[in-house]
Amino acid sequence: MSDPRTESGRASEAHGAGHGRVRSEPDRIPSRSIIAVGVGALVIFSLASFVTLSYLRVQEGDRPALPVPQELGQSKIGLLEQQLFETAERGRRDLEARRERLRTYGWVDRKAGVVHVPIDRAMDLSAQGVRPRAQGPGGRTTEAQP
């Protein structure tokens, strides 16, 4: 058996530290290696870019260039704000127009004889079992399918 105190003494001597500390070598990478890796990466990137652009040009062929959008170079800030306010107002007007149509009588297609009736009246007629008449082939009026 060996004495643990003598083992630890030999270990510290092997590392070159007489005070019991372990020293490590400083990390040092030669500058030439770093520069070589950087230049190599740039060369590979340049070659890959050239190959990709060449491939895309071959794929594109003789297609005409895309037209330039008319909005290019125009400020859209004012248009967007105006559009947002206009959209909100237009939504209210459309909703009111739809509600008005549900409350009134009117023509849908005068030539075909199709009308719209107020929704309350349509629900009453439907509850009574009255079905609208449909125009059949040859202008014949028939009872619509439920």
> In this model, does residue 99 exceed pLDDT 70?
yes
> In 3D, which of 145, 118, 121 has the Cα closest to residue 132?
145
Token look-up 């490590």 returns 24
pTM of the full structure: 0.32
Confidence of residue 77 (pLDDT cuts 50, 70, 90): low
Confidence band for 145, pLDDT divided at 50, 70 and 90: very low
Which amino acid, residue 57? R
| Residue 37 pLDDT | 95
pLDDT band at 46 (very low <50, low <70, confident <90, very high): very high
Question: Widest CA span of the chain, in angstroms?
Answer: 118
**pLDDT surpassing 80 at residue 13:** no
Where along the chain do its domains lie?
A: 77-134
Distances (CA, A) of 127 to 115, 130, 131, 145: 19, 8, 10, 15
